């Protein structure tokens, strides 16, 4: 059994203001994802301009925060937020859902692209490469907060998490950081480069992200303690990943149709 490294969720206290690792992780993930996308633009892997990418960051941030928070409230909150409605707006407290966040980002992308006359699938392809960076930092923050722990295990990788009882559990946050962060980033970079070489249609890279995340999250759910019980044979996380899986198949099928070159 591994020893859980007790870490203070508060990185820095300035008077009455607490700066938490959770917030630092979100800011770091968004900024590094932006830098990643900017470098890809400079290397010719997207027709999006650097200015448009920079202008999109506030839109994406709003989509992540609003969508992630509302997703947590709707998907996992149960009756708690009906009894404590003001806590919905306390975004500094833990409680964000990826599936809600991705809905928020897609909506933000749609309205931004409509305002700038940009093809939405072109921008989705680009940001789907940077998204795993944010996912990596988010899962590390979950680990520091000792939240979203895994199921009980007798594996040598088990840890006793504060507040999760006396028995060792899978460090599922680290599993997800490796899968949804590092591995998914490598997959996205590979398909972005390949899509440009093969001249596949816009949307394929976003489809690979959607499909890959759905599979990785569903696999990780076998090690993660279900947040809201089961929906039939599925955990809530697996059930919510099903639309992403189907959407990914659709975009990949569409994207594999090679673009006709302009005569």
For 3-56, what is each residue's pLDDT tens digit?
999 888 888 888 778 888 888 998 999 999 999 999 999 999 999 999 999 999
pLDDT above 50 for 263: no
For 82-123, what is each residue's pLDDT tens digit?
887 887 777 766 678 888 999 999 999 999 999 999 999 999
Q: Tell me the C-alpha distance between 221 and 240, whole Å.
A: 12
For 196-221, what is each residue's pLDDT tens digit?
998 899 999 999 999 999 999 999 99
pLDDT above 70 for 70: yes
Q: Is 197 inside a domain boundary?
A: yes
Which tops the pLDDT comparison, 76 or 158?
158
Average of pLDDT values for 71-83? 80
Q: Is 62 inside a domain boundary?
A: yes
Total tally of structural domains belonging to the chain: 1
Q: Is 177 inside a domain boundary?
A: yes
Q: What pLDDT, on a 0 to 100 scale, did the predictor assign at position 14? A: 82
Q: What SS3 string covers the chain?
A: CCCCCCCCCEEEEECCEEEEHHHHHHHHHHHHHHHHHHHHHHCCCCCCCHHHHHHHHHHHHHHHHHHHHHHHHHHHCCCHHHHCHHHHHCCCCCCCCHHHHHHHHHHHHHHHHHHHCCCHHHHHHHHHHHHHHHHHHHHHHHHHCCCCCECECCCCCCECCCCCCCCCECCHHHHHHHHHHHHHHHHHHHHHHHHHHHCECCCHHHHHHHHHHHHHHHHHCCCECCCCCEECCEEHHHHHHHHHHHHHHHHHHHHCCECCCCC
Q: Is 66 inside a domain boundary?
A: yes
Q: What pLDDT, on a 0 to 100 scale, did the predictor assign at position 92? A: 65
Q: Tell me the C-alpha distance between 134 and 36, whole Å.
A: 11
Which tops the pLDDT comparison, 72 or 218?
218
For 222-253, what is each residue's pLDDT tens digit?
999 987 666 778 898 899 999 999 999 999 99
pLDDT above 60 for 261: no
- Give the structural domain span for 233: 21-255
pLDDT above 50 for 69: yes
pLDDT above 50 for 170: yes
Q: Is 201 inside a domain boundary?
A: yes
Q: What pLDDT, on a 0 to 100 scale, did the predictor assign at position 22? A: 85
pLDDT above 80 for 78: no
Q: Is 7 inside a domain boundary?
A: no
Q: Is 109 inside a domain boundary?
A: yes
Q: Is 16 inside a domain boundary?
A: no
């Amino acid at each position: 059994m591994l020893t859980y490294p007790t870490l203070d969720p508060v990185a820095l206290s300035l008077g009455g203001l607490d700066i938490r690792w959770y917030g630092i992780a979100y800011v770091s993930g968004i900024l590094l994802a932006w830098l990643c996308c900017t470098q890809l633009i400079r290397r010719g892997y997207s027709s999006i301009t650097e200015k448009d990418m920079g202008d999109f960051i506030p839109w994406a941030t709003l989509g992540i925060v609003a969508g992630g928070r509302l997703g947590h409230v709707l998907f996992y909150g149960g009756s708690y937020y009906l009894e404590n409605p003001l806590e919905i707006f306390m975004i500094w407290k833990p409680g964000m859902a990826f599936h809600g966040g991705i809905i928020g980002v897609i909506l933000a992308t749609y309205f931004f692209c409509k305002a700038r006359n940009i093809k939405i699938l072109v921008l989705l392809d680009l940001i789907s490469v940077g998204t795993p960076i944010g996912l990596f930092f988010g899962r590390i923050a979950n680990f520091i907060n000792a939240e979203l722990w895994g199921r009980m295990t007798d594996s040598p990788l088990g840890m006793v998490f504060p507040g999760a009882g006396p028995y060792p559990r899978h460090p599922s946050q680290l599993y997800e950081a490796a899968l949804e962060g590092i591995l998914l980033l490598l997959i996205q970079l590979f398909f972005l480069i390949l899509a440009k070489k093969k001249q596949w249609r816009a949307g394929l890279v976003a489809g690979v992200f959607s499909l890959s995340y759905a599979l990785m999250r569903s696999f990780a759910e076998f090690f993660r303690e279900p947040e809201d019980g089961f929906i039939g044979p599925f955990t809530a996380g697996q059930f919510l990943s099903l639309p992403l899986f189907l959407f990914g198949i659709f975009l990949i099928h569409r994207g594999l149709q090679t673009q006709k070159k302009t005569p």
